[in-house]
């Protein structure tokens, strides 16, 4: 079985990366992480290191501009024949040439039921402040329109009256760790790129 080659972009804790790595340990899982790119030093890089996955840091300060940084990331991903790019807690906006290069092959995990609370890094806090009784997480295709690309799948999470941002985030992330590997599995079984 040839497995879908996945590149993961990270900036933070890396729990979604970990969920994908864990899924890939099953030889019957149809995808595996082959490269990890980070825009800053972060615990996610350590997860990649422990798993023996190629990883590289792409700090903006090392490049002329964002496009140059994204070009360098694209080169690493292409050198590893990456077929699907997963933004898993990646906190920089991808430049248009990168998105064109991997058109229909980039997905993102967002901690809300999009289109609710789009375009923000504070989607969990915003859901809590808005007083909604339900939120969740979404995996969607990345397009130029931040957080507004076609939705692939969502999971719902009830907001409890005593929730804090931390407790709510924890339950949303637990759902992300189920959702993301499931979506990647589904994409491995269908032709890519997805037309967007």
Binding positions for ligand GRF, rule: CB under 6 A = 12-16, 44, 88-89, 109-111, 137, 173, 176
Q: Least distance from C-beta 136 to ligand GRF, angstroms? A: 10
| Chain length of the chain | 196
In terms of Cα–Cα distance, which of 85, 84, 154 is closest to 118? 154
Q: Least distance from C-beta 15 to ligand GRF, angstroms? A: 3
- Closest CB to ligand GRF: residue number: 89
Instruction: Look up 177 and say whether it is catalytic.
Output: no
3-state secondary structure of 8: strand
C-beta closer to ligand GRF: residue 73 or 135: 135
Q: Which of 80, 110, 140, 177 is catalytic?
A: 110
Q: Least distance from C-beta 43 to ligand GRF, angstroms? A: 8
Mark out the alpha helices in 105-163 (DSSP H runs): 123-130
Strand locations in the chain (E): 4-10, 31-38, 54-57, 84-87, 106-110, 134-141, 151-158
What residues are labeled active site? 110
């Amino acid at each position: 079985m040839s497995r879908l080659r996945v590149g993961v972009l990270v900036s933070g804790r890396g729990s979604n990366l970990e969920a994908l790595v864990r899924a890939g340990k099953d030889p019957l899982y149809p995808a595996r992480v082959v490269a990890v790119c980070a825009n800053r030093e972060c615990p996610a890089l350590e997860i990649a290191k422990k798993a023996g996955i190629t990883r590289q840091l792409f700090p903006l300060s090392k490049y002329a501009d964002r496009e140059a940084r994204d070009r360098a990331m694209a080169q690493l991903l292409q050198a590893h024949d990456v077929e699907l790019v997963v933004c898993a807690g990646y906190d920089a906006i991808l430049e248009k040439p990168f998105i064109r290069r991997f058109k229909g092959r980039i997905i993102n995990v967002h901690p809300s039921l999009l289109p609710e609370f789009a375009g923000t890094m504070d989607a969990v806090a915003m859901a809590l402040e808005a007083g909604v009784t339900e939120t969740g997480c979404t995996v969607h295709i990345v397009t130029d329109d931040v957080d507004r690309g076609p939705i692939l799948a969502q999971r719902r999470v009830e907001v409890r009256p005593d929730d804090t941002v931390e407790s709510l985030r924890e339950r949303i992330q637990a759902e992300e760790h189920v959702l993301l590997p499931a979506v990647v599995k589904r994409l491995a079984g269908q032709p890519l790129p997805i037309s967007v």
